[in-house]
């Protein structure tokens, strides 16, 4: 195997590393089968557009320039020197099926380039999970799938971050993730897929009901990667959300743009998995 046939990114907005205090059997399964950390670091400021923008575009917010306000009213420029992983994949695979399912609509409208033919769907989390499962069943030949579930962040803003009420909503996100994993398994896609599970930020650092600071509760996130060639139960160190785009490019056999700032986390992939990369 020279590359994975597809990559799936499953994002839970605002979950920090609070998953350690919630019952998340599906996420736990991904951790057990692959590599993970509860001490990864996200971008600053710890706000959704800045952090998801860093994950998708491979650079710090100072460079990609995304903010919540900008993502809500503007489209991301197609000629930016900081392309998203979707644009990199599209340029390498002109006919590939690329999809983004996001409960927070500005990701689809303002963070992903509008003209590269990404299939985008925006709807509430519970409907989104079912739509993703249907997409997987109907399009088993997709190349890249990005998912953003929004309810953990909404619960943090409403009830406080890392509070029991937020933990219960995180558990709902785990159930939604289980629907996606079951669809992948039923379509026999797990054997040649890479699955990245991640959040964009935490919360409750300087404000119990908010995020945006560099406090460890805001900055520290979970990050995991599961698939062939990754040793089960691997514990990772020194992972940053910006590394995600580089990992996706590597997994799909793509050349990461020179402008990207991410790295491959040490110990993630077996040595020699892609010897020509």
The string of pLDDT tens digits covering residues 118-127 is: 999 999 999 9
Q: 271: alpha, beta or left, given left = phi > 0 and alpha = psi -120 to 50?
A: beta
Q: Structurally, how many domains does the chain consist of?
A: 1
CA angle 9, 162, 62 (to 5 degrees): 55
**What whole-number distance in Å separates Cα of residue 145 and Cα of residue 134?**
13
Query: What is the pLDDT of the chain when averaged over all its residues?
Result: 96
SS (H, E, C) the chain: CCCCCEEEEEEECCCCCHHHHCCCHHHHHHHHHCEEEEEEECCCCCCHHHHHHHHHHCCCHHHHCCCHHHHHHCCCCCCCCCCCHHHHHHHHCCCCCEEEEECCHHHHHHHCCCCCCCEEECCCHHHHHHHHHHHHHHCCCCCEEEEEECHHHHHHHHHCCCCHHHHHHHHHHHHHHHHHHHHHHHCCCHHHEEEEEECCCCCCCCCCCCCCCCCHHHHEEEEEEECCCCCCCEECCCCECCHHHHHHHHHCCCCCCCCCCCCCCCCCCCCCCCCCC
Residue 2: per-residue pLDDT: 54
Asked if the structure places residue 134 within a domain, the reply is yes
Q: Is 267 a domain residue?
A: no
Per-residue pLDDT tens digits for 72-113: 999 999 999 999 999 999 999 999 999 999 999 999 999 999
- Specify if 264 maps to a domain: no
Domain assignment of residue 211, given as a range:
6-251
Classify residue 270: in a domain, yes or no. no
Which CA distances in Å does 225 have to 30, 105, 174, 234?
7, 25, 16, 10
pLDDT one-digit tens code per residue, 43-75: 999 999 999 999 999 999 999 999 999 999 999
Q: Which of 104, 130, 4, 71 is nearest to 120 (CA)?
A: 104
Domain-embedded: residue 132: yes
* pLDDT bucket at 271, cuts 50 / 70 / 90: low
Judge whether residue 140 has pLDDT over 50.
yes
Residue 78 included in any domain: yes
Give the CATH number for residue 101. Answer: 3.40.720.10
Predicted confidence at residue 270, as pLDDT, reads: 72
CA angle 196, 76, 5 (to 5 degrees): 30
Residue 28 is assigned to a structural domain of this protein: yes
pLDDT digit string, tens, across residues 212-263 = 999 999 999 999 999 999 999 999 999 999 999 999 999 999 999 999 999 9
Token pair, residue 55, equals 């994950």
Position 160 in a domain: yes
Q: Classify the C-alpha dihedral 231-237-241-246 as positive or negative.
A: negative
């Amino acid at each position: 195997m020279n590359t994975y046939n597809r990559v799936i990114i499953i994002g839970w907005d605002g979950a920090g590393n609070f998953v350690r205090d919630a019952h998340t059997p599906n996420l736990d399964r991904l951790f057990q089968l692959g590599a993970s950390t509860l001490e990864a670091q996200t971008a600053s400021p710890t706000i959704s557009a800045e952090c998801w923008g860093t994950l998708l575009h491979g650079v710090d917010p100072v460079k990609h320039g995304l903010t919540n306000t900008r993502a809500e009213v503007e489209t991301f420029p197609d000629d930016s020197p900081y392309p998203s992983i979707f644009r990199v994949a599209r340029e390498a695979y002109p006919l590939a099926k690329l999809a983004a399912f996001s409960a927070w609509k500005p990701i689809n409208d303002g963070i992903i380039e509008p003209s590269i033919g990404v299939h985008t769907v925006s709807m509430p989390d519970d409907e989104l999970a079912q739509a993703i499962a249907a997409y997987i069943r109907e399009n088993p030949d997709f190349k890249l799938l990005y998912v953003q579930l929004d309810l953990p962040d909404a619960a943090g803003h409403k009830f406080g971050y890392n509070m029991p009420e937020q933990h219960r909503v995180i558990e709902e996100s785990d159930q939604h993730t289980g629907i996606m994993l079951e669809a992948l398994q039923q379509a026999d896609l797990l054997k040649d897929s890479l699955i990245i599970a991640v959040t964009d930020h935490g919360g409750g650092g300087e404000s119990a009901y908010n995020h945006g600071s560099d406090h460890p509760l805001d900055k520290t996130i979970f990050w995991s990667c599961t698939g062939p060639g990754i040793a089960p139960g691997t514990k990772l160190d020194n992972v940053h959300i910006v590394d995600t785009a580089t990992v996706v490019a590597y997994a799909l056999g793509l050349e990461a743009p020179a402008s990207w700032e991410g790295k491959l986390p040490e110990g993630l992939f077996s040595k020699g998995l892609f010897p020509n990369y």
